[in-house]
Amino acid sequence: MLKFLSPRSLKNTVAIRLSVLVLGVFLQACGEPEATRPVGSGEIVVSVGPLALITREIAGEDAVVRQLVQGGDPHHYAPKVTDRMAMEKAQLVIWMGPAMESVLARQMSLLPAERQLGLLDAGGYEFDGADRDDPHLWLRPRNAAVMAAHIANRLAQLNPAQADAYRARARDFSRAMANLQKVQDRALWAYRDVPIVSTHKAYGQFFGPAGVKVTSLGGSASHQHGARAILEKQEAVPADGDDTGEGDAVRGCLFGEVPANDRDRQTAMNLNLGYQALDPLGSNLPADADYRQLMEQLLADARLCLGRVPDHSR
């Protein structure tokens, strides 16, 4: 019937029909319940390596996870322009919180609360044997399981259609972490009376569940005060294990962070301790590593020094 209309009338009729169509689509979108709308397939941005390992296990193989801090110090990391753009576009940004990524906090304050997850504030963690103010919670597998649950719940809110999958992976991860914690604690329990010193208070989360006390030089009132405390503790430990015939035996261990450095090595020598640098951020792990490999590597590296401590339990 449009052929009987004048060119002007035809043009007006088509314009009206297009307007009605666009209006109908708009009204339909506005009427859709907010909870059923998909968030989209945007990136999940995380601050540090261990959080990336946990997030990938919960989000699944198809998720795109972008790690911000690559080999630097997360306490002083400031996002580049490309990082800020990624954070603004991401469906979710996961970080520990200002106690860990203090400089990043400025950029995080610009993001809506529903598009970020600060794991420190999420709560539910264990601190036995560790400093409650220390943010390196991922060094305890049971705490990693709590983080995984928080991540799964937030992703489920953003993507309801995949909620069951996220939570199922979090449950599987939690069971695996309970077993991993037992293995780690059994391996470290024998060293609960050995002087263990660290240059960083973070290692309380790693050794604490096994009942191994860690004295942190970095957390002491002064470096020398911490050294004196360790020397006093060593008085109850037999010297060097001369009866073992092991020329490289040590009283205990000083653990620093990668890369190894001469200052920490000299401090260990002055305290008659072995020295080993650990990698709590997993910066030296292969690209396809998972969280279990991070913890297994930490335990293997710790044993490089702990294995030199003579067994005086017999």
- The tens digit of pLDDT for each residue in 194-243 reads 999 999 889 999 999 999 999 988 644 455 455 555 556 555 444 444 43
Query: What pLDDT was estimated at residue 217?
Result: 86
Q: What SS3 state is found at 216?
A: strand
* Distance between CA atoms of residues 67 and 47, nearest Å: 6
Q: What stretches in the chain show pLDDT beneath 50?
A: 1-5, 7-11, 13-40, 219-221, 224, 236-246
pLDDT of residue 197: 94
CA distance 125 to 177: 14
- CATH code of the region 44-184: 3.40.50.1980
DSSP per-residue codes, 156-207: HHH-GGGHHHHHHHHHHHHHHHHHHHHHHHHHHHTTTTS-EEESSGGGHHHH
- H helix or E strand, kind and range, residue 60: none
Predicted local distance difference test score (pLDDT) of residue 28: 42
| pTM: predicted TM-score of the whole model, two decimal places | 0.81
Q: What is the pLDDT of residue 225?
A: 58
Rounded to the nearest 10 degrees, how much is the dihedral formed by the CA atoms of 237, 242, 245, 250? 40
Query: Phi, psi at residue 115, to the nearest 5°?
Result: -110, 20
Q: What is the pLDDT of residues 116-150, one digit of tens each?
A: 999 999 999 999 999 999 999 999 999 999 999 99
On whether the 190-306 domain is CATH 3.40.50.1980, my answer is yes
Bridge-based pairing state of the strands 116-118 and 92-95: parallel
CB 104 within 8 A of CB 72: no
Domain ranges of the chain: 44-184, 190-306
Fold agreement between 44-184 and 190-306: yes
